[in-house]
Structure 1
């Protein structure tokens, strides 16, 4: 029987490990060291009298007891945050811009992670091109932006590097003696500019067959068989295939995901750190 209260910091540490599947990324999200994360988890497991996380050199996995405790741990942290929030009527607003080439299908998960960090934080998210969002950040219309690295900018913090490829639907085939059909986003999309330059440098004729207002629209055009597109793999629906090697297309580089922020208050900084860690965990190595 547990006759002493649980350490909420240790409980939060366990939840972050479970959500991110990594001691290293949990440490980044909590702005501490991996050894501190391990120590807090060991103390919590000792207090509960059971092992919560099964650890091997290759993976981190919840034990049966850890799976059972996770739901209760989340509820405990939620009630703690509600108790603190009841003492104030003000809500901190956090305005974030996320590039359409970055947001991807993980966006609901990313928002949930920020909300779990501080349910009382009022989060405003805008999706757009990296260039437009960076301009809004410079005009102080947004407090934080997460974008593809912009040409001519060397500021910001690197979150992750993401691999890109040339993708098409499984039943798409090029037509002989015709320019390569490309589905893309409009300028000033940096990915569009990069892809066009690589094709031009390789003397590969190409033409735009579809211009979409977002990655979702471009992916739909690809799956409809209109042509190919330069995209990150995690942005694509099931069934898209990489045709770069088959068509001898120029290799696409890994593109940096950058964080630009001016937030200073501790709550907002913790939410941004949690968002960055969650996004990093979603990007394939």
Structure 2
């Protein structure tokens, strides 16, 4: 039985499940159904003669044998992919734009998963505002963009959505009889515009205390105690707290994230599917 070669598709399914912690997300990354991925894993476990995951209705976790098999499985897939890539003369490239309000601390891990899907794919990533990225996408400067909000567009693929909050440093206190100091990104920024509209509608006096060129700069202003910022929990600096309920600020809605792409098939699409599935997993946390 051990003389039979391993099914590489099944090994790839095992690695995807282990990386994403979910049969559903692994199926999305592989462009397959959850049932097909489950069947691949079942056949692999039968071939190896052991359980690779401990599964309950609430979680998926590597078994001791599965944890031991993970690195060799990745190495096996890497050797296979490099062998195929050696026959490809021209390196393919994909240019991706990601909204600053979307590209969180998980971005390095997401890029790594994309590279693992296709090590020979040249990946170009630019960070910017959603509006600017969509305009550049329409000018064909990007193959794909992942953006927050969907104003006047209906051609994107919904990825996920996130709840936003009003975050500040734990030591920050609003001064009596002064407008709410807001740290925000420069225009155009959909989150900035939405936050201002909600504050105005609720009759909350506010003023811009800090304008940053990116979410990292806004988070730094929050850490410095300058004021309050509308951010998703993924983006907040360590220790920041949601002061919205205490200050009775208007509730920020769940904001959607969309993917726009002209890539429909081939190796770049496979890598993009892996990125999308991994991002869904990260955003759902």
**TM-score for both structures, normalised by structure 1:** 0.98
The yes-or-no answer on 1:139 pairing with 2:139 is yes
Conservation of the 8 A alpha-carbon contact between 1:166 and 1:231: yes
- 1:284 deviation in Å? 2.9
**Equivalent position of 2:209 in the other structure:** 209
Name the counterpart of 1:18. 18
Q: Is the 8 A contact 1:159 1:256 kept in 2?
A: yes
Give, in angstroms, the shift of residue 54 of structure 1.
0.7
Describe how 1:100-119 pairs up with structure 2 within 5 A: 100-119=100-119
**Structure-to-structure mapping, 1:30-179, within 5 angstroms:** 30-179=30-179
CA shift, 1:3, in A, is: 1.1
Query: Offset at 1:208?
Result: 0.3
Q: Which runs of 5+ in 2 are unaligned?
A: none
**What SS does the aligned partner of 1:237 have?**
coil
Name the CA distance, whole Å, in 1 between partners of 2:204 and 2:155: 34
- 1:5 is matched with 5
- Distance (Å, rounded) in 2 between the aligned partners of 1:40 and 1:153: 38
Separation in 2, partners of 1:219, 1:149? 20
- Name the count of aligned residue pairs: 285
Does the 8 Å CA contact 1:85/1:120 hold for their aligned counterparts?
Answer: yes
Is the 8 Å Cα contact of residues 150 and 190 (structure 1) preserved in structure 2? no
Kindly report structure 1 stretches of 4+ aligned residues shifted beyond 2 Å.
Answer: none
- TM-score normalized by the length of structure 2: 0.98
Q: Flag structure 1 segments of 5+ consecutive residues without an equivalent.
A: none
Deviation readout 1:115-151 (Å, 9 max, x if unpaired): 0110000100001010110001000010000000232
What is the CA–CA distance in structure 2 between the aligned matches of 1:34 and 1:56, rounded to whole Å? 16
Deviations 1:84-118 (A, max 9, x none): 01112211110000001001101101100110110
Superposed displacement of residue 154, structure 1: 2.1
**Separation in 2, partners of 1:284, 1:96:** 22
The alpha-carbon deviation at position 264 of structure 1 amounts to 2.8
Q: Distance between the aligned counterparts of 1:152 and 1:50, measured in 2?
A: 52
Q: Secondary structure at the match of 1:101?
A: coil
